Amino acid sequence: MLDKKLDEYNNLIRKRVDECYAIATEAKSLGRDISTEVEIPLANDMAERVEELIHMKGIASEIRELSKTMSREEVSLKISKKVAEMLRENKDEALEKAVRVGLAILTEGILVAPLEGIKEVKIVKNDDGTDYADIVYSGPIRSAGGTAQALSVLITDIVRRELNVGAFKATDEEVERYIEEIQAYNRRKHLQYLPSDDEIRLVVKNSPVMIDGEGSEEEEISGHRDMKRIKTNNIRGGMCLVLCEGLIQKSKKVLKYTNIMNLKEWDILDKIGNHKKEEKGDKGEKYLRDIIAGRPVFGYPNRPGGFRLRYGRSRLSGLAAASINPITMYILDDFIAIGSQIKVELPGKAAAITPCDTIDGPTVLLKNGDHVKIKNMEEARSLRENIDVITDLGEILIAYGDFLENNRNLSRSPFTVEWWSYYLPDKLKGYEKTVPDQFTAVDLSRKYKIPLHPKYDYYWHDITIDELKKLIDSIKVADFSGGLILTHDIRDILIKLGIEFKNTDNGLFLSEFYPLIISTGFELVNDKIVQLRNIDNETNVMDAVNKLSGIEIKPRAPVRVGARLGRPEKAGDRKMKPKVHALFPILNYGDSRRSILVAAKNRVEFSMELNARQCRNCGNETPLTLCEKCGSITYDENTEKKLSVNVGTVLEKAESHVGFYDLKELKGVKKLMSKSNTVEPLEKGILRSKYDISLNKDGTCRYDMSDIPITHFKKSELKLSSETLKNLGYPDQEINEIYPQDIIIPEDAAKYLLHVSNFIDDLLVKYYNMQPYYMCSKIEDLIGHLVIGLAPHTSGGIVGRIIGFSKVSGCYAHPFFHAAKRRNCDGDEDSIMLLLDGLLNFSKKFLPSTTGGLMDAPLVLTVILDPEEVDKEALNVDTLYKYPLEFYLETEKNSPASSIEKMMKTMKVKMAEENSYTGAGFSFDTSDLSDGTLTSAYKTIGSMEEKIEKQLGLAKKLISVDENDVAARVISSHFLPDMFGNLRSFFTQEFRCTKCNSKFRRIPLSGKCLKCGSDNLILTIHHGSIVKYLKETEKIMSEFKLPEYLQAQIRRLIDSINDTFDIHGDEIVDDAPTLESFK
């Protein structure tokens, strides 16, 4: 389905793409490139992408036809059968192609899994002479996801039946091997679902195809080794994934299809996958388990003081992104920036953070004893240094759609203004926008019998009944003069309630007091506080305040969302390590910098196996596209030969071709990684160096960014002129719904792309003798230009259009754009490249020949986004301007999110009902998409020591965090394993030659490098890396209360290190505590 309302927009995009494609086609046809054609085919839909990926001409129309009436899965099975039928002459090929096509359809022709996730499918003979199908998986199958993984096994089964290939019969020993192997894999890399032995046994015994894998892990199996039909002793990661997270974990879904296909052998799946629930118990705490040094924790599970849940979607959230107030980012010492990933307790595992200044910010206790809700950024700046305790982090805005996507029950909603407003009589709806004062608020409740306004609704559920009694006793004797003056001893109760106060010598002064005294059974009569009701025998504080006040008081913050910093935001150009300008090999002749200039200066001439081309003018054989002897165009011989390269000559010629002689540096590579060893024209490298841009392994220039969503942008925040806006096809108004393929990139990305555009123009003019295309001199000139968005683990790009710039480190784009790349916004990152850069400079012939080499390469390009073909997750984004009252009532019942999907008008519902996904709404505004911390402190703080100091400092400051537990976790999950690990590997380490970089498993007896004879052999693990965190660990041990066992472990490590090394530098303190002093 394409949204008809977007026709005009789509035409704009298509026109630009055609323009670029035409230029690239013309340039390539000149023969000055390694290929005479553009190597990124355009695809309009999934069917075409599959056709291009698998190279099955003509299959697209059949897929399209079947898709009209069938689900993806059914189409996949059907087409697989068809392909098998077509190719049945060659059974092996038929089997392999059919399975790959099927998986490609299941993964929308975007993922690399069909190419890289299946190493081979082969037909093997059983001992009894019958044959069976063996499908060999490798690591990248992971990207396909459990269901597609499982279905790929079914496809294999169906296809082998079609081809009359027999069934696999596992021997008992083989079954045991699978069990041992899966357990071993689970120890190294955690499996989402670890099946029981019986489950594994059942599936392997009954599977009619052999689920096999490449020995992808370094670790070997210790028990069932050297088996005839399992060729490797290494752990087969791909097999473990497909069996556990695929077939077994998704058994219910698979069963659906086996029933349709009438595959009786698979009925066994009915009996498995049932003890899945086990792990769920402590799901909420999972985010704490893998705590990382230097990345602070913001809240323990549902602990007061942490982020308060608020339902809604800002124009910058949804698709796993959540919003918080920019003031909170600042108060948290800038650890959370826009685009940072935080790991959360709910609704999913992680979320990217975007700003929203229309939700609550933090409340803090100052060093002078005042308890303050920080109202704006200015106040925050003046107070940050004076904060003693952060008593409340403010709200975190989470969209309904994220609860739906994670298949969760709705947590109870806090009582918020949106909810409250539903109770307001029509004539008073103005209070939805303006906050009533404390007296009016109480009056409203009394007069109209509506719940107390959320601003005056305190966290009553966080105090005990005894604390309430203490509070009442204190109010009973309190002074009153313009405000309430309470004694100091109830400070902590007021803090728990979230009530602001000033610390004075006479006591705690509350200017907002009326709702408090009402809630606790008092009234103000003639400036005197009079008690109306006292606590009876209530045991529940919520019940008590409802009764004492005589008005309805709803829970203000029933749910807090525990969180910690995950991955910090990312934005930066992609550099190979070390940086490269051209895919031009120079072996070791460029010294450690791999400088082509150095090699040229030394007049280096070497020969190596390279893709050969022939000059038809002078007969010269060369790896270059332009003959270095006569300057003519050369022709690809599609074969490798030992060719000699004179670096000096090649460089001189290339410089003269592009007319640039002022190179400061030109970095090549040591060796090519591709199968064909194809050399890139050096001219391109020269021009890249001229504009100081870095190169990716596939010949393109990439900029990597965190993914963050935006559904509506403001003309003002992007500083767009009316003219620009109109040229882009938008109405000239302040707020616009963003088109699905439009992106807002960081200014830094724009600067990089500006250089790339200059490079492309130079290339067009000087290398191809064509007209320049971009002609950009400032970043604003890039607006309207197209890019290719491409994510790792995929091999299909999508066209995007630059419409503006932000100051944040992330790429703002429509949720559908991210979903088209198979990404969400929970901390994922991916890349963009200029469209013409991809079309001109990408080549498959550069791609590494290793497994995974095809990943993150634009093997095919989608021009127009089709909402039917984006990751289904994006269809769960909700589109309402205001969540209905029923929603809040459902949260009180903890209903499953899925039960109200229709009411919440998700994209899916909207598309079904309106046949369009445009015209969506959002429920919370944000002043400016760049408002908030721009760079996480995690990235700006230099040393790990300082990061940890800040992490622990924050832990102490936050009442939502147990600092001793954080300290213990940092040490036991990070420092100790790191130090122990390095200590262990010190004794089994490799040695390295600093001159030629050769590595040796053991130091040669001569002490000299066996390759180059140099005696500069060095350790690869030093004493320093073992004691790296020792000082820090000891410091933390003295400052925090660590569990005794952990203390003993630390002391044991210190003893062990002291006992091992005869080095007493600064790192080891002589009077360090030892195990001896422990008892």
385 binds another protein (CB under 8 A): no
DSSP string, 328-366: HHHHTTT-S-TT-EEEESSSSSEEEEEE-TTS---EEEE
784 binds another protein (CB under 8 A): no
Instruction: Tell me, letter by letter, the H, E, C secondary structure of 927-978.
Output: CCCCCCCCCCHHHHCCCHHHHHHHHHHHHHHECCCCHHHHHHHHHHHHHHHH
For the window 1045-1064, what string marks contact with another protein as x by the rule CB under 8 A?
x--xx--xx-xx--xxxxx-
222 binds another protein (CB under 8 A): yes
Pairing of strands 387-392, 307-311: unpaired
**716, 822 contact by CB (below 8 A):** no
State in angstroms the smallest separation of the CB of 250 from another protein.
25
State in angstroms the smallest separation of the CB of 970 from another protein.
15
Q: Which of 944, 937, 976, 949 is nearest to 1035 (CA)?
A: 949
State in angstroms the smallest separation of the CB of 124 from another protein.
23
Q: Which stretch binds another protein (CB under 8 A): 153-161, 593-601, 637-645, 986-994?
A: 986-994
Rank residues 194 and 463 by Cβ distance to another protein and give the closer one.
194
606 binds another protein (CB under 8 A): no
State in angstroms the smallest separation of the CB of 1078 from another protein.
7
1010 binds another protein (CB under 8 A): yes
State in angstroms the smallest separation of the CB of 174 from another protein.
14
**Adjacent-strand bridge partners of 633:** 626
Q: Which stretch binds another protein (CB under 8 A): 105-113, 180-188, 568-576, 652-660?
A: 180-188
Q: Which stretch binds another protein (CB under 8 A): 28-36, 59-67, 384-392, 1010-1018?
A: 1010-1018
Q: Which stretch binds another protein (CB under 8 A): 177-185, 658-666, 850-858, 872-880?
A: 177-185
Which helix (H) or strand (E) segment is 596 a member of? helix 596-601
Q: Which stretch binds another protein (CB under 8 A): 59-67, 175-183, 761-769, 798-806?
A: 175-183
Q: Which stretch binds another protein (CB under 8 A): 44-52, 258-266, 326-334, 1015-1023?
A: 1015-1023
1028 binds another protein (CB under 8 A): no
State the DSSP code for 501.
Answer: B
771 binds another protein (CB under 8 A): no
DSSP string, 981-1027: HHHHHHTT--EEETTT--EESS--TTSS-TTT----EEESS-HHHHS
Residue 309 tokens read as 């849940």
DSSP string, 518-548: HHTTEEEETTEEEE-----S---HHHHHHHH
1044 binds another protein (CB under 8 A): yes
1079 binds another protein (CB under 8 A): yes
In degrees, rounded to 5, the angle at the alpha carbon of residue 962 between the alpha carbons of residues 961 and 968 is: 125
Please give the Cα distance from 1073 to 1050 (Å, whole number): 9
State in angstroms the smallest separation of the CB of 1022 from another protein.
6
Which helix (H) or strand (E) segment is 31 a member of? none
991 binds another protein (CB under 8 A): yes
Tally of CB atoms within 10 A around 1010: 11
State in angstroms the smallest separation of the CB of 221 from another protein.
10
Cα separations in angstroms, 356 against 104, 390, 431, 556, 762 = 39, 20, 21, 20, 43
Pairing of strands 507-510, 387-392: unpaired
**Cα 1042 from chain centroid?**
33
435 binds another protein (CB under 8 A): no
State in angstroms the smallest separation of the CB of 198 from another protein.
15
For the window 80-119, what string marks contact with another protein as x by the rule CB under 8 A?
----------------------------------------
286 binds another protein (CB under 8 A): no
Rank residues 448 and 1078 by Cβ distance to another protein and give the closer one.
1078
Please give the Cα distance from 136 to 242 (Å, whole number): 10
180 binds another protein (CB under 8 A): yes
768 binds another protein (CB under 8 A): no
User: Contacts with another protein in 185-214 (CB under 8 A)?
Assistant: 187
User: Contacts with another protein in 223-262 (CB under 8 A)?
Assistant: 223
For another protein, the binding residue among 277, 434, 536, 987 (CB under 8 A) is 987
**817, 708 contact by CB (below 8 A):** no
State in angstroms the smallest separation of the CB of 1079 from another protein.
5
1006 binds another protein (CB under 8 A): yes
Q: Which stretch binds another protein (CB under 8 A): 216-224, 423-431, 467-475, 904-912?
A: 216-224
State the DSSP code for 454.
Answer: G
What does the buried/exposed string (b/e) look like for 307-333 if buried means 16 or more CB atoms within 10 Å of the residue's CB? bbbbbbbbbbbbbbbbbbbbbbbbbbb
536 binds another protein (CB under 8 A): no
Residue 265 tokens read as 């052998």
Rank residues 128 and 226 by Cβ distance to another protein and give the closer one.
226
**1019, 991 contact by CB (below 8 A):** yes
Handedness of CA 531, 535, 541, 544 (dihedral sign): negative
1075 binds another protein (CB under 8 A): yes
State in angstroms the smallest separation of the CB of 816 from another protein.
42
Q: Which of 234, 216, 421, 238 is nearest to 312 (CA)?
A: 421
State in angstroms the smallest separation of the CB of 222 from another protein.
6
For another protein, the binding residue among 1007, 1038, 1066, 1070 (CB under 8 A) is 1007
For another protein, the binding residue among 423, 606, 660, 980 (CB under 8 A) is 980
Q: Which of 822, 751, 830, 760 is nearest to 789 (CA)?
A: 830
Q: Which of 1067, 1077, 1076, 987 is nearest to 1028 (CA)?
A: 1067
For another protein, the binding residue among 280, 1018, 1038, 1066 (CB under 8 A) is 1018
H-only helix segments in 867-906: 885-892
Contact set with another protein (CB under 8 A): 176, 179-180, 183, 187, 220, 222-223, 976-977, 980, 983-984, 986-991, 1001-1007, 1010, 1017-1019, 1022-1023, 1044-1045, 1048-1049, 1052-1053, 1055-1056, 1059-1063, 1075-1076, 1078-1079
